């Protein structure tokens, strides 16, 4: 089969449907894996049985997580429905990888303070935004200058999880640091323009609809990359956002230096944001809106990790006087 032609068709369709570059890369990976697994047979010659076999293999032999198996299924579903126009029906015999039900890792206020104390510069500012505004990692990394509203004390999160926009608070004590960071981004952008560059990636067809927007300051990232890079879709050499991997590494290092033995990550700061708001007495619907959860039941998981000492139940051992 012509593997390259199929993948080009897949990429083209994904871009028409406005899927992100990360989703595009993941879907291409799974379709390529699927095709190679069946010795390069063309997917149009296969169907539900082969898809079931492949996904069952991932679950039973590959030992993949349920989220990984779901991603593979979504990729193949997109391929058959959107590219080949060949729906493969229900996956009745599919063996799903079991998804463990785990409580989120939450830091205490003291642990949060100690972790943040181990960071500095823009790493500290980004971590403070994760905790102080409840941002997801990529929501923070992808912040544009125009989305910070100092007058209304809010941050507009564009195209968050589920392709939804939402508004969250702008912590008051972050204003000076954010203004300084945005000033640095402005100086860098001005230099890029002088060097003949200065464009930034715009979502969907905005680059065509607003041809000058990609050079405007408002569309630049609050946390720009340290160097220019070539956009894999447009081929333009421009300045992308800061590397999320660097922030992840720094947060893990900070947790280790702060002697925090919980598996603390960037997302742990978002979990801690939600839990500490509930501890402060804010209602769960407010927290749901700030987090951008579609269903309140997702937010309710934080009620199980509030700092109430074993669900606020006193141990019977504590009823016995100390000897």
Average pLDDT along the chain, 323 residues, taken 10 residues at a time: 77 87 92 94 90 89 85 92 82 59 87 96 96 94 95 88 82 95 96 93 75 90 94 87 95 97 95 91 88 84 64 62 65
- For the chain, give every domain's residue range: 3-83, 101-309
The rounded distance, in Å, linking the Cα atoms of 131 and 269 is: 5
The rounded distance, in Å, linking the Cα atoms of 174 and 154 is: 11
Structure confidence at residue 171 (pLDDT) = 94
CB of 105 within 8 A of CB of 264? yes
Structure confidence at residue 310 (pLDDT) = 47
Structure confidence at residue 89 (pLDDT) = 67
Active site residue 136: yes
Structure confidence at residue 204 (pLDDT) = 66
Catalytic residue among 241, 250, 270, 271: 270
Catalytic residue among 161, 215, 240, 252: 161
- The tokens describing 53, both together, are 């076999």
Active site residue 302: yes
| pLDDT tens, position by position, 216-266 | 999 999 999 999 999 887 888 999 999 999 999 999 999 999 999 999 999
Structure confidence at residue 164 (pLDDT) = 77
Distances (CA, A) of 159 to 148, 166, 231, 248: 15, 8, 19, 21
Catalytic residue among 53, 77, 136, 252: 136
Active site residue 267: yes
The residues that bridge with 155 in the sheet, in sequence order, are: 148, 168
- For 250-273, b/e burial (b = at least 16 CB within 10 A) is bbbebbeebebeeebbbebbbbbb
Q: What are the residue ranges of helices labelled H in the chain?
A: 3-16, 21-37, 48-60, 66-78, 109-117, 121-133, 137-141, 175-194, 206-209, 244-257, 266-279, 284-291, 296-299
Matching CATH number, 101-309, of 3.40.190.10, 1.10.3720.10, 3.40.50.720, 1.10.443.10: 1.10.443.10
| pLDDT tens, position by position, 127-168 | 999 999 999 999 999 999 999 999 999 999 987 676 678 999
Topology, domain 3-83: DNA polymerase; domain 1 (1.10.150)
Active site residue 33: no
């Amino acid at each position: 089969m012509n593997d390259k032609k199929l993948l080009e068709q897949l990429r083209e369709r994904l871009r028409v449907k406005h899927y992100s570059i990360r989703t595009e890369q993941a879907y291409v990976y799974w379709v390529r894996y699927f095709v190679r697994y069946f010795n390069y047979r063309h997917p149009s010659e296969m169907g539900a049985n082969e898809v079931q076999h492949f996904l069952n293999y991932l679950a039973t032999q590959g030992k993949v997580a349920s989220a990984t198996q779901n991603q593979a299924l979504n990729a193949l579903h997109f391929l058959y429905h959107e590219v080949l126009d060949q729906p493969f029906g229900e996956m009745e015999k599919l063996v799903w990888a079991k998804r463990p039900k785990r409580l989120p890792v939450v830091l205490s206020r003291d642990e949060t303070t100690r972790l943040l104390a181990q960071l500095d510069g823009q790493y500290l500012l980004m971590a403070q935004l994760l905790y102080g505004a409840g941002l997801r990692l990529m929501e923070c990394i992808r912040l544009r200058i125009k989305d910070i509203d100092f007058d209304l004390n809010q941050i507009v999160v564009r195209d968050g999880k589920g392709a939804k926009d939402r508004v969250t608070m702008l912590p008051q004590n972050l204003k000076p640091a954010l203004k300084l960071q945005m000033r640095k981004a402005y100086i860098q952008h001005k230099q890029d323009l002088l060097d003949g560059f200065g464009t930034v990636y715009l979502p969907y067809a905005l680059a065509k609809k607003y041809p000058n927007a990609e050079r405007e300051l408002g569309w630049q990232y609050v946390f720009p990359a340290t160097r220019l890079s070539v956009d894999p879709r447009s081929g333009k050499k421009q300045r992308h956002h800061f590397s999320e991997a660097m922030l992840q590494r720094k947060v893990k290092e900070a947790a280790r230096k702060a002697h925090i033995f919980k598996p603390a990550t960037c997302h742990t700061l978002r979990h801690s944001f939600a839990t500490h708001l509930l501890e402060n007495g804010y209602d769960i619907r407010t927290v749901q809106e700030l987090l951008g959860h579609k269903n309140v039941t997702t937010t309710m998981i934080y009620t199980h990790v509030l700092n109430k000492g074993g669900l606020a139940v006193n141990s019977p051992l504590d009823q016995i006087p100390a000897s």
